[in-house]
Amino acid sequence: MDRVLNALSYFFNANTLNPHGICLLWRPELIWTHAISDILIGLAYFSIPLAIGMFLYRRPDVRFGWVLWMFVAFIMLCGVTHFMAVWTLWNAHYGIEALLKALTAVASVMTAVALWPLLPRIIALPAAATLQARIEERDQALNDLRGAMATMVEMREHETRQKLLLDELNHRVKNTLASVQSIASQTMRGAGDMGEFKDSFVERLMALSSTHDLLVKREWTSASLRELVDATLGHYGRPYAYAGPDLRLHSNFAVTFGMALHELATNALKHGAWASGGRVDISVGEGEGGAIRIVWRESGGLAVNAPEQTGFGSRLLERGVAGELGGEVTMDYRREGLVCAIQAPASEKIAFQDSPEAVLERL
C-alpha cells in the first residue's frame, strides 16, 4: 500500500518540473496566445455538450440518446484538458493533466467503440423529408377517410330526407285526391246537367292547381294570404283590393282557403259585384280579443238577394274554413253587395306575418 501511495505521490509531484511557460521563454505574446486560445476552446467545448444535454432532457424520445450522452462526457473532458493546458503554463501540475487526458482518452475510445456498431442503424433511420412525406400521406389518408365518412353521412341523410319526402308526397297525394273527390261530389250535387258540372269542376280544379303552384314555390311550408289572393283573383281581370297586414297560412289550410276564395270570386262574377262593373275589397285586421278578422266586401254591382239554398261555397266557408280555424264565418247578403266576415284566433294555421301593414290593389 505504501508503494502505491509513493507511486501516486511521485506521479503528481511537480517540484522537479517546470511550468510550460518556460518552453515559451515566458514570451508574453506566445503565452497569452496559447492561454486565450485554450480558454475559448474550453468554453466552446463546455457550451456544445450543454446544448446537447438540454436537447436530450427535453426530447427523451430520441433514439440512441445514450450515445449522445457519451459525446457530452467526451466533449466536456476535452474542454477540461484545454483549461488544464492554460493552468500548466504557470503551474507544473502535469500529473493532473496526464490523468485528465487519460480520462478523455477512455471516454473518446468508448464513444468511438459504441458509435461504429450503431452506424448502420443510424443510417437506416428515415430522413426528415421521408418522415414528412409519410406524415403528409397519413394526413391525406385521414382526410380521404373523413371525406368518405362525410359522404356516407350525407347519403344516409339523403336517404332519410328522400323517405320523408316520399312519405310527405304520399300524404299530399292522398289529401289532393280526397279534395278532388270532395270537389267532384259537391259539384255534381249542385250541377243541373253534365255541361254545368264540367265547367264548374274544371274551374275548381284550376283553382286548386293555382294554390298548389303557390305552395310549391314555398316548398309547402306556408303561404302568404296576399299572394294567395293575387293567385286566385288576378286572372279574372276584375278590380279588387287587399288592405291590411299579410297573413301566414299553413299549407293544408291554404288549400281550403284558396278554394273558398275561388267560390267567392265565382259568385261575384256570376251574381255579385263583378257581374256589372263592381269591385271586391278584402281587408285584414284585428278583431275582438286579438283575433284575426278577414272581410270580403263587394260593392258597385248588382243588388244581392240571399240564396234560397246553401251552395258549395257557403258550406266550404261556414264548415270547412270555420271548422279548421275554430272560428266563425258570417255571410251578410246586403242589397249593395255581399259581405263575408271570417274571425278566428291566431294559431299555427293562420297568423300575422312579421311585415308592415300594406295595401295591394288590382284594377
pLDDT one-digit tens code per residue, 64-87 = 777 878 888 888 888 888 888 888
Tell me the pLDDT tens digit for each residue of 328-356: 998 888 888 899 999 999 998 899 986 44
328 compared with 55, residue with greater pLDDT: 328
More confident residue, 275 or 184: 275
Residue 363 has pLDDT above 50, yes or no: no
Rounded Cα–Cα distance for residues 329 and 342 (Å):
5
How many angstroms separate the CA atoms of 268 and 96, rounded?
Answer: 126
CB 350 within 8 A of CB 292: yes
Helix (H), strand (E) at residue 11: helix 2-12
* pTM for the structure as a whole: 0.52
Residue 11 corresponds to which amino acid?
F
> Residues near 275 by Cβ (< 8 Å), separated by ≥ 6?
268, 269, 301, 302
Q: Is 289 left (phi over 0), alpha (psi -120 to 50) or beta?
A: left
Does position 154 have pLDDT exceeding 50, yes or no? yes
pLDDT given at position 361: 43
Which is it for the CA torsion 245, 246, 249, 253, positive or negative? positive
The yes-or-no verdict on residue 129 having pLDDT over 90 is: no
Average model confidence (pLDDT) for the chain? 80
C-alpha cell at 314: 257557403
In this predicted model, what pLDDT tens digit does every residue of 89-102 receive, in sequence order? 898 888 888 888 88
Could you tell me which residue, 71 or 248, shows the higher pLDDT?
248
Pairing of strands 337-344, 292-299: antiparallel
Sheet holding 358-362, edge to edge: 328-334, 337-344, 292-299, 279-286, 240-244, 358-362
Higher pLDDT, 215 or 59: 59
Give Cα 291 to chain centroid, integer Å: 40
d(CA 81, CA 31): 17
Mean per-residue pLDDT, 273-293: 89
CA distances from 71 to 108, 114, 284 (A): 8, 10, 93
Identify the pLDDT of residue 55: 83
